[in-house]
Structure 1
Amino acid sequence: MNLTMRQLRAFVTLSECGNFTLAAKHMHVTQAGLSAMIRELESQLDSQLFLRTTRKVEITTAGNAFLPYAAEALQRLNDGIQRVTSEKGRQCLCIGLTPLVAATILPAISDRFKQACPNVELDVIDADREQLQRMVESEQLDVAYGLFFEQKSVLTQALVFSAGLILIAPASCVQLNSSAEASYERNRNLACQLPLLTLRRGSHFERFVQAFLQEIDYPKVVRHDFQHLATLISMVDAGRGWALIPSFAQLACKRYKNVRIMSVGKTSPRLDFFCITRRGTSIPAALHSLSEIVANECTTVR
Structure 2
Amino acid sequence: MELRQLEYFVAVAEESHFTRAAQRMHVAQSGLSAAIRSLEKELGAPLFRRSTRQVRLTSAGEALLVEARRTLSAADAGRDAVAAVQGLVRGTLAIGSLQCLHSLPLPELLRDFVTAHPGLDVRLRHSGSTELLDQVRTGTLDLAFVARPSRCPEGLRLAPLGTERLVLACAPEHPLAGRAEARLTDLADERFVDFHPGWGTRDHADAVLADAGVHRKVALEVTDVHSLLELVAFGLGVALVPETFSLKTDQARFIPLPRPVPAWETMSVTTELPSAATVAFLGRMGGGHG
| Counterpart position of 1:169 | 170
Task: Give the alignment partner of residue 257 of structure 1, picking from 229, 250, 258.
Answer: 250
Give the aligned residue type for 2:181: Y
Larger gyration radius, structure 1 or structure 2 = 1
Q: Structure 1 length as normaliser, TM-score?
A: 0.56
| Counterpart position of 1:142 | 142
Tell me by how many angstroms 1:244 deviates: 0.5
Distance 1:130 1:90, change over 3 A: same
Give the aligned residue type for 1:282: S
Distance 1:140 1:196, change over 3 A: closer
Alpha-carbon displacement from aligned partner over 1:193-227 (angstroms, at most 9, x marks no partner) = 75233344687754532442344455x56541414
| 2:143–2:268 Cα contact (<8 Å) kept | yes
Alpha-carbon displacement from aligned partner over 1:159-206 (angstroms, at most 9, x marks no partner) = 222233211111223656xxxxx62249995x8875233344687754
Alpha-carbon displacement from aligned partner over 1:209-263 (angstroms, at most 9, x marks no partner) = 2442344455x56541414352432210222121112334x1xx43333112122
| 1:237–1:258 Cα contact (<8 Å) kept | yes
Give the aligned residue type for 1:136: V
Tell me by how many angstroms 1:95 deviates: 1.1
Task: Give the alignment partner of residue 273 of structure 2, picking from 244, 268, 280.
Answer: 280
**1:91 & 1:192 partners in 2: Cα distance?**
51
Distance 1:77 1:28, change over 3 A: closer
| Counterpart position of 1:232 | 228
1:266 aligns with 2:263: no
| Counterpart position of 1:25 | 65
1:81 aligns with 2:83: yes
**2:282 & 2:130 partners in 1: Cα distance?**
23
1:111 aligns with 2:105: no
| Counterpart position of 1:245 | 241
Q: Give SS of 1:101's match.
A: coil
Query: Following superposition of structure 1 onto structure 2, how do residues 37-76 of structure 1 map, counting pairs within 5 Å?
Result: none
Distance 1:239 1:291, change over 3 A: farther
Give the aligned residue type for 1:260: R
Question: Gaps spanning 5+ residues in structure 2: where?
Answer: 5-59
Distance 1:155 1:23, change over 3 A: farther
Count of matched residue pairs: 221
| Counterpart position of 1:120 | 117
Distance 1:77 1:255, change over 3 A: closer
Question: Gaps spanning 5+ residues in structure 1: where?
Answer: 7-19, 35-70, 177-181, 294-302
Tell me by how many angstroms 1:126 deviates: 2.0
**1:193 & 1:153 partners in 2: Cα distance?**
39
| 2:208–2:262 Cα contact (<8 Å) kept | yes
| More displaced 10-residue stretch of structure 1: 262-271 or 278-287 | 278-287
Give the aligned residue type for 2:100: V
Alpha-carbon displacement from aligned partner over 1:37-85 (angstroms, at most 9, x marks no partner) = xxxxxxxxxxxxxxxxxxxxxxxxxxxxxxxxxx9xx98875333333x
C-alpha RMSD of the superposition = 4.3
Q: Give SS of 2:254's match.
A: strand
Structure number having the greater helix percentage: 1
